[in-house]
Structure 1
């Protein structure tokens, strides 16, 4: 049987939390994301057209919370310096220095969300990077 010739309508990366309400507040209040789909114990937050993050109550989801995170959420923005100044002002946990990665062609910084997932904010150094 051939693969269906359909393009996905949206993408969701699910992250698992012990305190779902605190995670939702962080993604709404700190990162400015909006709730796109409310499934009760899963809150699907819109990042940009087609891209979403699903915040899941780990007691109800398909996976469980893990102390060691192996997922990074990366948000590409037009002005990383403005985001970095904001991150410094509100003292985000685990805030790195602003750095340049020439190999990837980005200027970026990272910090941690309320339960330890790493968030990267980046801007390309050149078109197509």
Structure 2
């Protein structure tokens, strides 16, 4: 019997990370108004936002999705940007929970900071160090 043939990843159209919320409208306002993402696919109880050309974050109403919102958030959304310090200056003005100042990490070759969305998911904004 021959081994199965795996499809090529180049044929993958989108990568969507789904997060589950108790208050979907508050999460939507945050990702639209603060982060600046545009709603790409509206499925009613699931809202999918484009982050990169093929990378998306999906916000799901816990009452309808496959999972329930949980106080423990073992998921981090990380966005690589051109100017981490400009993003930090902007986010600092918003004042979200969990905001930490940017730090450089020579080993990882990044400069990054973190903060939390309205229900506690951590967001990391990072830039590559030259």
Q: TM-score, normalised by structure 2?
A: 0.93
Instruction: Give the CA RMSD over aligned residues.
Output: 1.0
3-state SS, counterpart of residue 87 of structure 1:
helix
Query: Partners in 2 of 1:111 and 1:51 — Cα distance?
Result: 20
Aligned with residue 3 of structure 1, among 3, 6, 21: 6
Runs of 4+ in structure 1 deviating by more than 4 angstroms, as ranges, are: none
Query: Would you say 1:45 and 2:57 are equivalent positions?
Result: no
Q: TM-score, normalised by structure 1?
A: 0.94
Aligned with residue 99 of structure 2, among 95, 98, 107: 95
* Superimposed CA distance per residue, residues 70-93 of structure 1 (whole angstroms, 9 cap, x where no aligned partner): 000001110111101011111121
Counterparts of residues 1-129 of structure 1 (less than 5 Å) = 1-5=4-8, 7-126=11-130
Give the total of aligned pairs: 126
Structure 2: unaligned runs, 5 residues or longer: none
Query: Partners in 2 of 1:59 and 1:52 — Cα distance?
Result: 21
Q: Give 1:5 shift.
A: 3.9
Say which one has the larger Rg: 2
Query: Partners in 1 of 2:24 and 2:110 — Cα distance?
Result: 31
